[in-house]
């Protein structure tokens, strides 16, 4: 089934990104632009992501909890990303899995932004 396009107010929404390299960085920058509060958990982290609150460690079960509104699984370990997706579904937290669209409960559209006019394309 195709996706319904929602426009979400991200102001002060708590977003957890698991993974700390190129893909995590792109997601973080995009969400930050729209006011989200980003938190990073990753075993390694690139320099640009160090401007966000971060923890350098593996993800653990208690990380997947209702203090987060959205979670992004952006590791390069397919099993870890799939496990995050499963935990998020159990906890009813929206999840984006960067290496498996079928496991996502939300996806990122391509975005065109001019002032307050936003166009999202999937
Ligand atoms: C819109 C945008 C938003 C964003 O993330 O910024 C976006 N991908 C963008 C960029 C981008 N994507 C990829 C590269 C690396 C290219 C390279 O280096 O080769 C780059 C970087 C680049 O192109 O610069 C590859 C890629 N993408 C996905 C997979 C996994 C898969 O398909 O299984 C793989 C293969 C990974 C691999 O095999 O390694 C999956 C998803 N990517 C989506 C969106 C969602 C689909 C939405 C839809 O189609 O409706 C979805 C399903 C999930 C999600 O991420 O939400 C942004 C467009 C920027 C623009 O043009 O405006
Ligand atoms: N959705 C998209 O638009 C898109 C675009 C490009 C790539 N990808 C996919 O995104 C994934 C990540 O790409 P990348 O280039 O950012 O990867 P990368 O390999 O450079 O980085 C992976 C990160 O995950 C961290 N990590 C691995 N296991 C972990 C764990 N158990 N707990 C915490 N952190 C862990 C690593 O420390 C590292 O920081 C790849 O699988 C790739 O296929 C998706």
Q: Return all residues near 16 (Cβ < 8 A) that are at least 6 apart.
A: 39, 40, 41, 63, 68, 70, 71, 72
Q: What is the pLDDT of residues 2-35, one digit of tens each?
A: 889 999 999 999 999 999 999 999 999 999 999 9
Ligand 1 close to Cβ of residue 99 (< 6 A) = yes
Ligand 2 atom 39: the closest Cα is on which residue?
20
Residue for token pair 């999202």: 120
The pick from 101, 112, 113 for probing ligand 1's pocket by mutation, whose C-beta has the most ligand atoms within 8 angstroms, reads: 101
Q: Which residues pair with 16 in a beta bridge?
A: 39, 71
Domains, the chain, ordered by start: 14-121 (3.40.50.720)
Q: What is the DSSP string of 98-110?
A: TT-GGG-SS-PPE
Ligand 1 close to Cβ of residue 101 (< 6 A) = yes
Q: What is the pLDDT of residue 103?
A: 97
């Amino acid at each position: 089934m195709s996706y319904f396009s929602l426009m979400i107010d991200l102001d002060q929404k708590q977003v957890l990104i698991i993974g700390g390299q190129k893909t995590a960085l792109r997601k973080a920058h995009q969400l930050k632009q729209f006011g989200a509060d980003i938190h990073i958990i990753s075993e390694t982290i690139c320099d640009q992501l160090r401007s966000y609150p971060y923890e350098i460690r593996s993800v653990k079960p208690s990380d997947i909890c209702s203090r987060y509104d959205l979670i992004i699984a952006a590791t390069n370990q397919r099993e870890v990303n799939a496990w995050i997706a499963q935990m998020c579904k159990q906890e009813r937290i929206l999840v984006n899995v960067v290496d498996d669209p079928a496991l996502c409960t939300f996806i990122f559209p391509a975005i065109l932004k001019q002032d307050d006019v936003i166009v999202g394309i999937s």
